[in-house]
Each structure stands twice: as C-alpha cells, then as structure tokens.
Amino acid sequence: MESIDVRKSALIDWLRQLGNLPVFRLETMVGDASMRRYFRVYTPRQSFVAMDAKPPQENCVPFVAIAKALSRAGLNAPAIIAADIPQGFLLLTDFGHTTFQNALNEENAALLYSKALKALLVLQQPHQVDGWQVPPFTADWMWKEWAWHKEWFLEKWLKIQLTEAQEKALDGNYAAIVDLCVAQPQVFMHRDFHSANLMLLPQNEVGILDFQDAFIGPLTYDLASLLRDAYVAWPKEAVTEWALFYFNELQQSGALKSVSSTTFLRWFDFMSMQRHLKALMTFSRKAVRDHEPRYLQHVPRTMQYLVDESSHYAETKALHTLLVQKVLPALKGVNLACAL
C-alpha cells in the first residue's frame, strides 16, 4: 500500500518539475471529510494550494471542469495553475486563510449571507460543464444515504437496533422526505455549500471551494447546507428571513414561478432533514471506519436541527420520536470530547 510520505514526495517532485515555481515549502492544510489532502505552497512572492487526490479513490477531472464552468459564470473558483490528472495532483490559486466559518459574526452575518446567497443564485443557473457530466441526485441516491445512516450512525456508532415496526415507520417518513425533495426544481447543486467551503475574499467577495462532488439536484439543497450549517448555527428567525430573501431573489430572477413562500419553506425543511441525516452518517462513519473523530463535535448542532424540523410535520412523526426517545439518550452515553 502506498504510504502518505510517498504521495507527498511525488507531489513535491511534480511541483519541482513544473519549472515555473521558485524555491517553495509545503504546509499541510486542514482537509475536508474526503480522502483528498491539501497543502499550501509558499514561494517568496506568493502562495498556492496543491491538491492531492489519489486515484482511483479520487478524481481530479470534475474539479477542473467545474472550476472552469463556475469561473465562466462569473463566480470565484480557484484557477487551475497546473494539473496532472493521472497522478491526481492540482496546483491552484490560493484564496487565503479566511473562511466564512471563521469570519462570520453577529455584525457581518446579514451582509455575508446576502453575498453567499447571491452567489448561490448564479451557481444554480444552468450552465455547461464541458468535460464532465454532472450526475443527478436521484431518489435512489437519497435512499442509499438513508441506508448508510442506519448502518453507520444508528447501528455501528450508537448501537441502536431498530425493530421491524420502527424501521417500517421510519422508512415511511423518509419516503415522504424523498418525495418532497425530488418534487422540487432540479438545479446545479454544489452539495457542500456551507461556511467551511466559502472563502471571504477582498471587498467581501465569495470564494467557492470543494465543488467537485456536484450534482443536479433539489433547489433547496445548497440553501439547507448554508443556512442550517453543521458548523455554525443562527437564530431560527434569522434563518427564515434569509431563506425568504433567497425565495424572493429566485422569484425576481424568474428561476422560480407559481410557488408560495409556504411551499418553499416546507421544501427547505424537508431537504434540511435529508441533508442532516446524511451529515450524521458522514460524521459517525469518519469516526468508526476511519478513526477520525473530529467531526463528532458537530453532531449536537446537527441533531438539534433535526429534532426541531421533524417536530413540525405529521409526515416525520416517527423520525422525531426516534430522535427524542432513542438517539438523544444514546448520545449522552458517547464521548464527544474526543472530537475537540
């Protein structure tokens, strides 16, 4: 098995062979929940970001294709300075150190979210992604994520065994969630459009990262990622206000017609539940399978979203009951301090 040190050495050799970089040094960056790794490349004049996306587990092709498509649409995506697709190496422009997650506070939240939402409006508009077929985020894919949630979050992490009756009721609730998600307009979907993947650039511009797993999917998916973020939470009133701001932007642009704000907020709630269930699966799978517990610190916030959202609808009564009667008590018995 190829070691991490061998990969890093190969990356350094590739950077040296480019011929246009002066003397440089690498600094490991905090990665995302994928198998990709990132390094900041420092030179005497400027810095770059190097991505190590080892094939076949990772593939640089969608990142390159989507980055170019987003840039053509007028959005701020990293420029591809150099690429070695077979090896899985990219050299990118560096958007700096300031993520939205780090920059957001009560004073600037309204401004920064309005900037992010206006960028999202452009991102969701149909545009050609040359060189990559963006896959659909189908009902089948959502059902796979539900199966993974039950396997990794409920069974393997929390040791919760569902009865046949419980599983049948929960599957019925999830069917209602999926039905409302697939009924929404299907748009270009970043899939991880949240504060950790948005960079604060000069003049409060928005830099967009981590878009290589994009789908064509439900209109409110990225809105749920942004406004009900696993990494930062805001008062419910503010979240509703920002969601309605986006609803009005969609209507004014002509991207959404003949839909009431009530229906839109219902879409938003059901899509949020689907995404939170997926996030809980990801956090627990990273801890159990990959022995990487740092994402567990975001479980309580994600759970609070789910408990609240599921409490409002008859279609998700069984889900709400499970969360309150089984999941929350089980969480009291696990050690989340190891994630900090």
Instruction: Based on the fold, state whether residues 208 and 187 are members of the same structural domain.
Output: yes
pLDDT of residue 302: 98
Q: Are 116 and 225 in contact (CB under 8 A)?
A: no
Q: What is the mean pLDDT of the chain?
A: 94
* Whether residue 68 sits in one domain with residue 31: yes
CA atoms of 213 and 204, how far apart (whole Å): 25
**Using only C-alpha atoms, what is the Rg of the chain?**
21
- Decide if 68 contacts 214 (C-beta within 8 A): no
Residue pair 220/264 in contact by the 8 Å Cβ criterion: yes
Domain CATH code at residue 174: 3.90.1200.10
Choose one of 93, 110, 134: the last residue of a domain.
93
The total domain count for the chain is: 2
How many C-beta atoms surround the C-beta of residue 32 within 10 A?
A: 16
Q: Is the pLDDT of residue 4 over 60?
A: no
Which CATH number fits the domain that encloses residue 19?
3.30.200.20
Nearest residue to 170 (alpha-carbon basis) of 19, 6, 322: 322
105 and 41 fall within a common domain: no
Q: How far is CA 269 from its chain centroid?
A: 17
Residue 28: in which H helix or E strand, if any? Answer: strand 25-28
Pairwise CA distance, residues 13 & 223, whole Å: 41
Task: Please tell me whether residues 84 and 149 are part of one structural domain.
Answer: no
Domain boundary among 93, 114, 133: 93
Span 271-323, pLDDT tens digits: 999 999 999 999 999 999 999 999 999 999 999 999 999 999 999 999 999 99
- CB within 8 Å of 3: residues ≥ 6 apart: none
* pLDDT at residue 334 in the model: 83
Determine which of 25-34, 119-128, 255-264 has the lowest per-residue pLDDT on average: 25-34
- In this prediction, residue 156 carries a pLDDT of 97
User: 1 pLDDT band (50/70/90 cuts)?
Assistant: very low
Q: Report the DSSP beta bridge partners of residue 136.
A: 216
Per-residue pLDDT tens digits for 113-125: 999 999 999 999 8
**Residues 63, 192 within the same domain:** no
Answer yes or no: do 10 and 42 share one domain.
yes
- Of 93, 121, 150, the last residue of a domain is 93
Sign of dihedral through CA atoms 34, 36, 40, 46? negative
46 and 195 inside one domain: no
Give residue 195's pLDDT: 97
Which residues have CB under 8 Å from 331's CB, separation 6+? 158, 299, 300, 303
- pLDDT of 24 over the 90 cut: no
Band of the pLDDT at 23, cuts 50, 70, 90?
Answer: confident
Give yes or no: residues 147 and 223 share one domain: yes
Q: Could you give the CA distance from residue 173 to residue 316 in angstroms, rounded to a whole number?
A: 5
Determine the structural domain holding residue 86 and report its residue range.
4-93
Over residues 162-214, the pLDDT tens digits come to 999 999 999 999 999 999 999 999 999 999 999 999 999 999 999 999 999 99
**Are residues 89 and 104 part of one domain?**
no
- CA distance linking residue 110 with residue 106, whole number of Å: 8
